[in-house]
Amino acid sequence: MTAESKHPFTTVIGLEVHVQLQTQTKLFCGCVTTFGSPPNTQVCPTCLGLPGSLPVMNRRAFDLSLRAALALNCKIASFTKWDRKNYFYPDLPKGYQISQFDLPFSYEGYLEVVDPKGAFEPRTVRIIRVHLEEDAGKSMHDETAGTADSRIDLNRTGTPLCEIVTEPDLRSPEEARAWLNELKLLLVYLGVSDCNMQEGSLRVDANVNLHIPQPDGRLAKTPIVEIKNMNSFRSVERALVYETERQWGEWQDTGAEIGSMPKQTRGWDDSAGVTRGQRHKEESSDYRYFPDPDLVPVTVSEEQVAAVRSTMGEPPALLRKTLAERWDIPAYDADVLVNQGPELVEYFEDLAKKVGEGKVASNWMQQDVLRMLNERGGHIADFPVQPTAVADIIGRVKKGDFDTGRGKEIFAAVLETGKPVDEVVAGMGIAAVDEDDLQKLCEELIAENPKIVADVKGGKEQAAGGLIGQAKRKNPNVNPGKVRALALELIRALP
């Protein structure tokens, strides 16, 4: 259900995404960037903004941001500089943020998102610019026992942050969420960022308004609202759905159009499921940008760009294609696997190699490994059952030791107990059924089920299915396929 389908308007969405780069050290000093350390333990005079301290650019952080920009098909500026964005806040110890104003290091890119189920048309979202800046610290407001203390943690201060600004090319909340997923996947695949929203390494603001065709052919546009404070992609989608409806309601009530009021910022309240207007500043902020005199401009040569490009991995869009071709699996399968991230793809390829057959491996990945992973939570890197064990189980199924259903039980037991496959198989009393035993069992079943025999004889072969359940009760190790085949053969041989 999209808003578009219900109402006579187009939803117009642009995103502003901040992504923390996965560098060892901060952008302008040597402090480490590990998340979750005790407050104010990863700081130095420079990121504390102490008097007399000076920034020095971390070229590796810069190269990593180049990688992100190249992945987003951006042009790379040969000359870029640093600007100061001046504002007062306690988590900004210098009183300014080092950022990029008029000469971002990259611009004019795009990223396409395709929905494998075809819920929306493939959408190419243009990227206006990607620039690099330093992150601010964190304010922690302690509201316990009426103390209302605010505490500042400056560990994050100076962490490299890429700001990605899109054109308003998205047309529904659903698209916005899908595009963000694609962006996240891309940045994770390229090792640019872990994109962990809980840890704040990816933050999204959304700009949204409605374009409403008028009877006279004019296109009315509602005032643009910037939504902040969304903590997950799901929140982004929900907030946009809410805001679309709210704007439609407001349009019907007031008919207010863009330009009739200053741009509004609304905060998303996830538990209440609403956006709320944030306090208006009397005048729009004036950040008094100017070139940072403590830093020198950065030049980027063709060779440097080529060097960064040569170390880039395969972006997900390309990987989907190559994975499907390499393992002869449907595009849908490749999509599901790639969307789970690089470690899962690695797991799959390892499994497929050992099984020798992509589709079987893909089925097991989707039906068993992924299902268990989702049930258990956690990451594939920590998944206790290795591809070798899964391949072992699949191999035994293929050999006819037991059927797929049994194989799944074994997989679950291996996961549960942490025991090797052999041990689990033995513990479950699973043993290959001897051909003679199978013959004897089938003969017994035929003797005991004259009605089924008659039905089969009468042409209803599917009636033989009734024998399989009975066979499994007599001996849980029998292979249903084999039972079926042999039973049919014996029945046909009856006079």
Partner 1 sequence: MTLTTRSAAELATALQQGETTSVECTTAFLDRIEATNPTINAFLSIDRDGALAKAASVDAARAQGKSLGPLAGLPVAVKDVLCTTDQKTTCASKMLKTFEPPYDADVVRRLREADAVILGKTNMDEFAMGGSNENSAYGLVRNPWDTDRAPGGSSGGSAAAVAADMTPLAIGSDTGGSIRQPAGLCGITGLKPTYGRVSRRGLIAFSSSLDQIGPMARSAKECAMLLQTIAGHDSGDSTSINTPVPDYLTDLEKPLQGLRIGRVAAHFSEGLDPEVAEHVEQTFATYEAAGATIHEVELPHAAYGVPTYYLIAPSEASSNLARYDGAHYGHRWDGTPSDDQGINTFDSPLVEMYCRSRAEGFGPEVKRRIMLGTYALSAGYYDAYYAKALRVRRLIRNDFTQAFEKVDLIGGPVSATPAFKLGEKTDDPIAMYLVDLYTVGANLAGIGGISFPCGFTQSKLPIGFQLQGPALSEPLLLQAAHQYQQTTDWHLQRTTAISS
Least distance from C-beta 41 to partner 1, angstroms?
Answer: 14
Determine if 286 is a binding residue for partner 1 (CB under 8 A). Answer: yes
From 44-52, 116-124, 235-243, 363-371, span contacting partner 1 (CB under 8 A): 44-52
Query: 263, 276, 280, 288: which one contacts partner 1 (CB under 8 A)?
Result: 288
Site residue total, partner 1 (CB under 8 A):
28
> Distance between CA 269 and CA 275 in Å, rounded?
6
Among 114, 295, 430, 488, binds partner 1 (CB under 8 A): 295
Site string for partner 1, 131-160 (x = CB under 8 A): ---------------------x--------
Near partner 1 in 79-98, by CB under 8 A: 84, 86, 88, 90, 93-96
Binding-site member from 24, 34, 37, 45 for partner 1 (CB under 8 A): 45
Please state the closest distance from residue 149 (CB atom) to partner 1, in A.
12
Residue 152 or residue 432: which is nearer to partner 1 going by CB? 152
Task: Return the residue of 38, 118, 217, 293 that touches partner 1, per CB under 8 A.
Answer: 293
Asked if 296 touches partner 1 (CB under 8 A), the answer is: yes
Which residue, 94 or 177, is less far from partner 1 as judged by CB? 94
Minimum CB distance to partner 1 smaller for 52 or for 429: 52
81 and 103 in contact (C-beta within 8 Å)?
yes
Q: Which of 55, 173, 315, 358 binds partner 1 (CB under 8 A)?
A: 55
Helical H runs in 78-134? none
Nearer to partner 1, 52 or 217 (CB): 52
Nearer of residues 49 and 173 to partner 1, judged by Cβ: 49
Summarize as ranges the residues that interact with partner 1 (CB under 8 A). 45, 48-57, 84, 86, 88, 90, 93-96, 152, 286, 288-290, 293-296
